[in-house]
C-alpha cells in the first residue's frame, strides 16, 4: 500500500506520541522575538529558549511538523530549487525533541525503528554520518554516535561515515544552540547503479538520487559571537526530517516534485499552458530535451514558490520593499517571470495555484485555509503590478544581451553597430545617466560587456523602473551565460539610498514612517525614505 502524505505526516507524529512526546503545532514562519533570524529555518527555532535554559515547557519531549523557509541567511537553498530533485524554499520539517531528557541512544534507535521497522526502508540503502571532530572547535570525533549505530541498529558498519563540521555540526545561525549531528541518507539509485559506485561515495555529494532525509542533532553548546562554544547545562536532542523527501522515498518517487504534495500544483500549472509536466530527467543534449527540461524547471520553481509565497502571506508577511516583505516579493516576481517567459503565461496565474495548495495542505494548516481569499487577492495584485512592467523589462534585457555577448568575444565592430542602433542608444541614455557624452556611455558599456557582464547601470534601470529584483536580473543573465557588473549596480543603489536619506530629512510625516517600518520589519530592512518608495511604486 502506498501512503499519502497526510498518512506519512500523521504516522510520524503518532510514532513519537506513543513514545511520550507531546504533539505541538508548527510555529509561524516569522520567528517570534528573534532578531537573529528572518524566517523560521528549522523545527528547533521555536525551542531555542528551552535549549539555552531561558525558557521552559510543560513537557520534556515534543514532536511536530514545522513550516520552514530557506531563502536567506545561513540556510539559503533558493538557487537549488527547480534544478535539483529535493531542495525547496518552503518545506515541512518533521521533528522530535528531547529537552534534557533522552539523548543519542534513543534518538538513533527510534530513527531506525521508524524508518526500517515501521516504514520498511531497505537498510542496504541507508547511510549514517557522524561528526569527525573539529580541531578549531576543540571537538573530538563523535565515536559515541558511531558506536550507538552499531549497538542499537543492524546498520551495515560500512555505511557509517565520518564527516566534517560543514555537514555534521549543526548551527541554526552564526550564534545560538548547536552541536554535532548524525544524518541519515538514502540511496534511491537502481541496483545496477549501486553495484557500479557504492552509495557511501555519493553521500553529501549533491547526487540527485542520494539524499539526506533526517538529521539527528545533539545540542550541547551555545555558539558565541566570537565563534567559541559555551557548553549548555543540559544535553538535548533536536531532529529534522524533510517531509517532502520522506514522502518521495515512501511513494517510490525519484523526486519530491513527483509526490502527491506537488502533483496537484504541477497539474494545475500545466493546465494553464500548452505544456505538460513531464516527469523524469533528460540528458539535455538535444534542443528538444533542453526545452523540455526548461519547462520542467519553470514548473517546479513555480510549484515551489507558490508554497513559500502563500504560507508567508498567511503568516502575516506582506510583499513589500524591505525586509521579509521584499524577500517574498522577490520570490513572487521570480515565479511570475518563469511563467511569463518559459510557459508563456502573460496574465496573472500564480494566485490560481493557491486553491490546489489549500486543497492539499489546508487540513494540516488551518491558518492557510482560513485566509485563502486574502492570500489569493494579495498575490493577484502583486502579479498585476509586476506584469505591467515585466514585458518591457524583458525586452530591454533582450536588447542589451546580444551586444554584451558579442562584446565579450570581440569588441570593436559590435560597438560601432550599437552606435547605429537608435533604440539601443535611447536605452543607454536612460541607464547611463552619469555619462557626460555618448562616447563615455559607450566606453562604460564596453568596460562591463567585454567582461561578459550586463552593465550595472542596466541592472539598476531594470530594478528602479521595471521592478526587477537584482537576483532576478542575475538569474536571467546566468541563463544567457552572462554575469552582472555588481560593483556598478551596488554603487548606484548606494547613491540612491543616500539621496533618499537626505531627502527624508524634510517634510516627513512620522506616523507614516512608523507604518512603513512596521511593514518592512526584519533584520535586513533599511528605511530608504520616501524617494525610493515612490520610485518603486511608480515602477510596479
Q: Could you list the residues that contact ligand ATP (CB under 6 A)?
A: 42, 70, 77, 87-88, 91, 93, 212-215, 240-242, 244-245
When asked if residue 142 is in the footprint of Mg ion (CB under 5 A), the reply is no
At its nearest, how many Å lie between Mg ion and the CB of residue 215? Answer: 4
At its nearest, how many Å lie between ligand ATP and the CB of residue 213? Answer: 5
Q: How many residues bind Mg ion (CB under 5 A)?
A: 2
Chain residue whose CB lies nearest ligand ATP:
242
Q: Is the dihedral of CA 401, 407, 413, 418 positive or negative?
A: positive
Question: What share of residues in the chain are helix, strand, coil (percent, to 5)?
Answer: 50, 15, 35
Chain residue whose CB lies nearest Mg ion:
215
- Residue 335: contacted member of ligand ATP, Mg ion, none (CB under 5 to 8 Å, by partner type): none
> Is residue 70 packed enough to be buried (19+ CB in 10 Å), middle (13-18) or exposed (0-12)?
buried
- Residue 260: contacted member of ligand ATP, Mg ion, none (CB under 5 to 8 Å, by partner type): none
At its nearest, how many Å lie between Mg ion and the CB of residue 523? Answer: 20
- CB of 145 or CB of 295, closer to Mg ion: 145
- Residue 319: contacted member of ligand ATP, Mg ion, none (CB under 5 to 8 Å, by partner type): none
Using CA atoms, how far apart are residues 389 and 535, in angstroms rounded to an integer?
13
| DSSP-assigned letter for residue 3 | P
> Is residue 281 packed enough to be buried (19+ CB in 10 Å), middle (13-18) or exposed (0-12)?
middle
SS3 sequence, 474-521?
HHHHHHCCCEECHHHHHHHHHHHHHHHHHHCCCCCCHHHHHHHHHHCC
- CB of 245 or CB of 351, closer to ligand ATP: 245
- Residue 328 CA: distances (Å) to CA of 187, 310, 312, 318, 452: 34, 9, 7, 8, 30
Q: Please check whether residue 261 is in contact with residue 249, taking contact to mean a CB–CB distance below 8 angstroms.
A: no
At its nearest, how many Å lie between Mg ion and the CB of residue 226? Answer: 25
Using CA atoms, how far apart are residues 333 and 375, in angstroms rounded to an integer?
16
Which of these, 465, 441, 440, 461, lies nearest to 389 by C-alpha position? 465
At its nearest, how many Å lie between ligand ATP and the CB of residue 527? Answer: 31
- CB of 94 or CB of 322, closer to ligand ATP: 94
Which of these, 425, 427, 429, 433, lies nearest to 499 by C-alpha position? 433
Helix or strand or coil: residue 135? Answer: coil
Using CA atoms, how far apart are residues 405 and 450, in angstroms rounded to an integer?
8
Stretch that binds Mg ion, among 194-202, 204-212, 307-315, 372-380 (CB under 5 A): 204-212
- CB of 24 or CB of 78, closer to ligand ATP: 78
Interactions with Mg ion, residue window 450-489 (CB under 5 A)? none
Helix or strand or coil: residue 200? Answer: helix
- Residue 213: contacted member of Mg ion, ligand ATP, none (CB under 5 to 8 Å, by partner type): ligand ATP
At its nearest, how many Å lie between ligand ATP and the CB of residue 88? Answer: 4
Instruction: Classify strands 160-163 and 126-131 as parallel, antiparallel or unpaired.
Output: parallel
At its nearest, how many Å lie between ligand ATP and the CB of residue 18? Answer: 22
- CB of 142 or CB of 212, closer to Mg ion: 212
Q: Please check whether residue 339 is in contact with residue 350, taking contact to mean a CB–CB distance below 8 angstroms.
A: yes
According to DSSP, the residues that pair with 131 across neighbouring strands are 163
- Residue 173: contacted member of ligand ATP, Mg ion, none (CB under 5 to 8 Å, by partner type): none
At its nearest, how many Å lie between ligand ATP and the CB of residue 71? Answer: 9
When asked if residue 215 is in the footprint of Mg ion (CB under 5 A), the reply is yes
At its nearest, how many Å lie between Mg ion and the CB of residue 167? Answer: 5
- Residue 522 CA: distances (Å) to CA of 97, 268, 311, 325, 401: 28, 33, 17, 8, 35
Question: How many residues comprise the chain?
Answer: 540
At its nearest, how many Å lie between ligand ATP and the CB of residue 70? Answer: 5
Alpha carbon distance, N-terminus to C-terminus of the chain: 50
> Is residue 226 packed enough to be buried (19+ CB in 10 Å), middle (13-18) or exposed (0-12)?
exposed
- CB of 133 or CB of 242, closer to ligand ATP: 242
- CB of 17 or CB of 77, closer to ligand ATP: 77
- CB of 242 or CB of 393, closer to ligand ATP: 242
- CB of 215 or CB of 525, closer to Mg ion: 215
At its nearest, how many Å lie between ligand ATP and the CB of residue 64? Answer: 13
Stretch that binds Mg ion, among 215-223, 352-360, 410-418, 487-495 (CB under 5 A): 215-223
At its nearest, how many Å lie between Mg ion and the CB of residue 305? Answer: 18
Element (H, E) at 370: helix 366-370
- Residue from 64, 106, 142, 212 touching Mg ion (CB under 5 A): that is 212
Q: Extract the C-alpha cell encoding 503.
A: 531627502
- CB of 70 or CB of 351, closer to ligand ATP: 70
- CB of 212 or CB of 304, closer to Mg ion: 212
- CB of 256 or CB of 401, closer to Mg ion: 256
- Residue 242: contacted member of Mg ion, ligand ATP, none (CB under 5 to 8 Å, by partner type): ligand ATP
Using CA atoms, how far apart are residues 339 and 332, in angstroms rounded to an integer?
11
- Residue 121: contacted member of Mg ion, ligand ATP, none (CB under 5 to 8 Å, by partner type): none
Query: Which residues make up the interface to Mg ion (CB under 5 A)?
Result: 212, 215
Amino acid at each position: 500500500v502506498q501512503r499519502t502524505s497526510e498518512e506519512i505526516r500523521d504516522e510520524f507524529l503518532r510514532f513519537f506520541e506513543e513514545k511520550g512526546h507531546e504533539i505541538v503545532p508548527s510555529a509561524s514562519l516569522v520567528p517570534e522575538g528573534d532578531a537573529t533570524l528572518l524566517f523560521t529555518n528549522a523545527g528547533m527555532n521555536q525551542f531555542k529558549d528551552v535549549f539555552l535554559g531561558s525558557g521552559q515547557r510543560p513537557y520534556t519531549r515534543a514532536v511536530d511538523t514545522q513550516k520552514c523557509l530557506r531563502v536567506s541567511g545561513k540556510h539559503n537553498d533558493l538557487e537549488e530549487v527547480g534544478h535539483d530533485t529535493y531542495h525547496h524554499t518552503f518545506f515541512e520539517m518533521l521533528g522530535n525533541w528531547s529537552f534534557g531528557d533522552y539523548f543519542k541512544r534513543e534518538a538513533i534507535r527510534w530513527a531506525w525503528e521508524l524508518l526500517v521497522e515501521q516504514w520498511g526502508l531497505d537498510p542496504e540503502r541507508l547511510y549514517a554520518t557522524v561528526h569527525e571532530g573539529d580541531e578549531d572547535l576543540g571537538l573530538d570525533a563523535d565515536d559515541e554516535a558511531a558506536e550507538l549505530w552499531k549497538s542499537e541498529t543492524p546498520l551495515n558498519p560500512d555505511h557509517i561515515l565520518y564527516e566534517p563540521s560543514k555537514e555534521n555540526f549543526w548551527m541554526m545561525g552564526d550564534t545560538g544552540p548547536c552541536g554535532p549531528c548524525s544524518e541519515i541518507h538514502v540511496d534511491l539509485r537502481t541496483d545496477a547503479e549501486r553495484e557500479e559506485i557504492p552509495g557511501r561515495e555519493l553521500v553529501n555529494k549533491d547526487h540527485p538520487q542520494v539524499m539526506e532525509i533526517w538529521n539527528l542533532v545533539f545540542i550541547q553548546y551555545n555558539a558565541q559571537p566570537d565563534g567559541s562554544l559555551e557548553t549548555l547545562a543540559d544535553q538535548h536532542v533536536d531532529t529534522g526530517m524533510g517531509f517532502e523527501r520522506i514522502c518521495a522515498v515512501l511513494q517510490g518517487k525519484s523526486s519530491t516534485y513527483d509526490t502527491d504534495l506537488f502533483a496537484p500544483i504541477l497539474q494545475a500549472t500545466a493546465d494553464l499552458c500548452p505544456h505538460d509536466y513531464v516527469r523524469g530527467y533528460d540528458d539535455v543534449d538535444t534542443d528538444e530535451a533542453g526545452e523540455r527540461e526548461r519547462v520542467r524547471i519553470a514548473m517546479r520553481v513555480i510549484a515551489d514558490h507558490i508554497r513559500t509565497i502563500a504560507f508567508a502571506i498567511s503568516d502575516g508577511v506582506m510583499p513589500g520593499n524591505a525586509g521579509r516583505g521584499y524577500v517574498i516579493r522577490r520570490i513572487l516576481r521570480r515565479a511570475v517571470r518563469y511563467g511569463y517567459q518559459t510557459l508563456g503565461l502573460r496574465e496573472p496565474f500564480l494566485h490560481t495555484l493557491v486553491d490546489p495548495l489549500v486543497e492539499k495542505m489546508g487540513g494540516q494548516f488551518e491558518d492557510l485555509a482560513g485566509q485563502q481569499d486574502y492570500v489569493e487577492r494579495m498575490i493577484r495584485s502583486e502579479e498585476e503590478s509586476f506584469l505591467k512592467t515585466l514585458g518591457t523589462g524583458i525586452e530591454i534585457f533582450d536588447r542589451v544581451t546580444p551586444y554584451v555577448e558579442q562584446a565579450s568575444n570581440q569588441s570593436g565592430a559590435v560597438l560601432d553597430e550599437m552606435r547605429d542602433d537608435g533604440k539601443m542608444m535611447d536605452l543607454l541614455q536612460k541607464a547611463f545617466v552619469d555619462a557626460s557624452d555618448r562616447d563615455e556611455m559607450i566606453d562604460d558599456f564596453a568596460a562591463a560587456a567585454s567582461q561578459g557582464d550586463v552593465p550595472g547601470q542596466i541592472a539598476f534601470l531594470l530594478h528602479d523602473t521595471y521592478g526587477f529584483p537584482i537576483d532576478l536580473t542575475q538569474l536571467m543573465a546566468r541563463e544567457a551565460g552572462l554575469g552582472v557588473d555588481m560593483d556598478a549596480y551596488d554603487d548606484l543603489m548606494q547613491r540612491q539610498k543616500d539621496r533618499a536619506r537626505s531627502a527624508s530629512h524634510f517634510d516627513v510625516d512620522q506616523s507614516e514612517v512608523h507604518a512603513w517600518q512596521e511593514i518592512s520589519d526584519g533584520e535586513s530592512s533599511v528605511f530608504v525614505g520616501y524617494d525610493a518608495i515612490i520610485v518603486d511604486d511608480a515602477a510596479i
